Amino acid sequence: MSPPKCPRCQQKMAELIQAQNMQIRTYGCAPCNLIVVEDA
């Protein structure tokens, strides 16, 4: 997965990695199209 392009999505990804919350959903803006996988 390529890193998010904008600071907001980068921050969101960093938070999710820290929290280790990995369900699959799309988060954030169109350029980033950040995919988040969270443990249910």
Has residue 15 been placed in a domain? yes
Has residue 23 been placed in a domain? yes
Residue in 32, 33, 34 with CA at minimum distance from that of residue 16: 34
Has residue 32 been placed in a domain? yes
Domain count, the chain: 1
User: Residue 16's pLDDT is what?
Assistant: 76
CB atoms within 10 A of CB 16: 16
Using the structure block, give the residue that is written with the tokens 């954030």.
28
Has residue 1 been placed in a domain? no
Which domain, by its residues, includes 21? 7-37
Positive/negative CA dihedral, 25, 29, 34, 40: negative
**pTM score > 0.75 for this model?**
no
With H, G, I as helix, E, B as strand and everything else as coil, classify residue 30.
coil
Has residue 2 been placed in a domain? no
Question: What six digits make up the tokens of 11?
Answer: 């921050």
Segment 33-40 shows an average pLDDT of 67
Structure confidence at residue 38 as a pLDDT band (50, 70, 90): low
